[in-house]
Chain A
Amino acid sequence: MAELKNIWTSSDCLSEKQLVSYLEDKLEREEIFMLEDHLSGCALCSDAIDGLMDSDILLPSDALTDIEERTNSRIQYETDQVALSNQNQNLKGHKGKKKRFAPFAAAASILLLIFGGWIVYSKYLSPQHTDHATLAKSQEVKGDYSESVDENSIELSGIETESKDKFSKKREPKIANKSQGQKEAPSELEEVVAASKTFVKENKAVPRVKRRAKPAVVAKNIPTLSKPAIAKLEEDSKTLDVSDRRQSKISSAVVAKQSAEEKRDIAYQSPSVSNTYQVPISRGKAKDLESSESISAVQKQSQYNASPKLKSKKQGMSRSSSVLKETAGDEVAGYGKKEATDDYSDGLYYYNKQEYRKSIRRLSKALKDASAEQKEDIQYHLAMSYLKLGRDDQAEPLLDALKKSSKYRIQSERMIQEIQSR
């Protein structure tokens, strides 16, 4: 009865070998007892024995190997999947971190862009900077002129006084007219050509000082002479039979002069765009102009763009240019007129700078002493300044007055319509 104490024993399930040996009755008595004892407590082994006992083939080893391989590959696949999902989870963790920082990164990049934009704007695009650039350019042009005028004076020193006087006398009245923006292209051109011919004939023996003569003005946007005029010039230069290069210099100077005049005319016709209008005359080219008229035109242009504070400085920059300006200025206009022009250019300067209060002050001052032609320009810009400040009631009478103007009729009518539609 004592053996009953061991009725509930714990043992491992039957191995494949034990199972087959048991079914084939190849086990010892004690082994059989142990095995059957296990069977009495293990339903799995008991059922397996039941199932295999009646089978013809006890355990098909091929089938079991096949099952084992299939299951092992399945296990491997599952473990790989688990590893992959773990990896993905890790990656997601990283992505989550990235996502957390994404708004900060975006904000930082936006700030960086704004800061960069501000730097670019303040350095290159701000109106102040643009004004400085324009000023610098005009200064450069003016400097070129001063130099060229100096050079011209040296060059001309070898020329006989008589011919010089002749040449300058012929040109000065025209210069006066030109500086006021009056256009007398055909007759003046003929006179200049004639003068240049005389000058060439008289100064054939004059040695060349410098060989920097090239076409005086070559610029994309500058209007040149009309085709018949050019043809006429060419014809003249041929008939003159001038082998000296001076001839080409003079003809170039004529072209340059004409260009400068036309350009100035354009500038006067549309002063509002003149701040972007650059004077494309280089140092060497300007030298060949040999004309105080062109110089004064350029000076006028640079004054137009320059700050009033810097203007006096600019004016004193060149001795010869100031001399020329004085001589030309006396003939061009009276003292009051000159002041009006200064106020006008100052007014335009402030207008372009969008300082409309200042521009109104200057333009109002300029309007008092302005010539009939300038009056329209001043009125127009004064009216625009008022409009910019929203002072329509003050702008309207000026625009009404401009209705009669051939230059500003369309603009003024449109502005009046806009005011009325508000």
Chain B
Amino acid sequence: MARQLKNLDDLELLRLYKENNKAEALSILFKRYYHLVYGVGMKYFKNSERAKDITSHVFEKLIKELKKHDIEYFKAWLYRVARNECLMEIRKNKTITKPIDESRVEYMENEEELHQLREKEDLLSKMELEIKHIPKEQRDCIMLFYLKRKTYKEICQETGFTFMQVKSHIQNGKRNLKNRILKAGG
């Protein structure tokens, strides 16, 4: 039974929990994300104990909030909750004041839309046209990663950017490109 549940995607497990009150389904769903939420906590607090506490707190909150919301993209919603909890905790202690970058969440939430883009026949020609209009560092990172299949570390070495910068340039470049294609009527 547990094996069968493990094969289900996030939304199926979520539905099973909400409709049939199946605790095991939620346990399997959460197990997919403990380490990631812990990693997010580590990013914000740089402290293992606090990251552990915030992870527990986030999942407890999720149990309560799941019943109240109709969730379509669990991953994006989990990220939003985890990050907000971390930021709230930070604001409470006034250790860090970092603005919330909503565009990253939106990008995750529009994942399905992005996948649909792939299906379009004229996508490639449009990409070739639009990629010229995104910032150079973003364009370079994207070209190195997707055309030359270089790893983040290799791009760092080649461009001189840090790992975080390379990662950020690629993420932002993808988002800008998508926005431009959608704007152009792709």
Contacts and interface: CB of A to CB of B under 8 A. Distances in A.
Interface residues of A, number: 57
A67 B38 contact: yes
A37 B42 CA distance: 22
Interface string B145-182: 11101011000000000011001001100100110000
B183 interface: no
Question: What is the size category of the interface that chain B forms with chain A?
Answer: 35 or more
Q: Is the interface of A mostly helix, strand, loop or mixed?
A: helix
A71 interface: yes
Interface stretch (A4-12, A141-149, A156-164, A229-237): A4-12
A4 B131 contact: yes
A79 B23 contact: yes
A299 to B, nearest CB: 89
Contact of A54 (B46, B76, B111, B177): B46
B48 interface: yes
B147 A3 contact: yes
A213 B31 CA distance: 105
Contact of A67 (B46, B55, B108, B170): B55
A50 B45 CA distance: 12
Interface string A62-102: 01101110111011101100110010000000000000000
B152 A4 contact: no
B87 interface: no
Given A8-B118, A10-B115, A55 B42 contact: yes
Given A53-B163, A76-B23, A44 B78 contact: yes
A70 to B, nearest CB: 6
Contacts of B178: 8
B21 interface: yes
A46 B163 contact: no
A71 B30 contact: yes
A410 interface: no
13 contacts: A5-B123, A5-B124, A5-B127, A8-B178, A37-B145, A40-B145, A41-B114, A43-B79, A47-B39, A50-B164, A67-B59, A75-B30, A79-B23
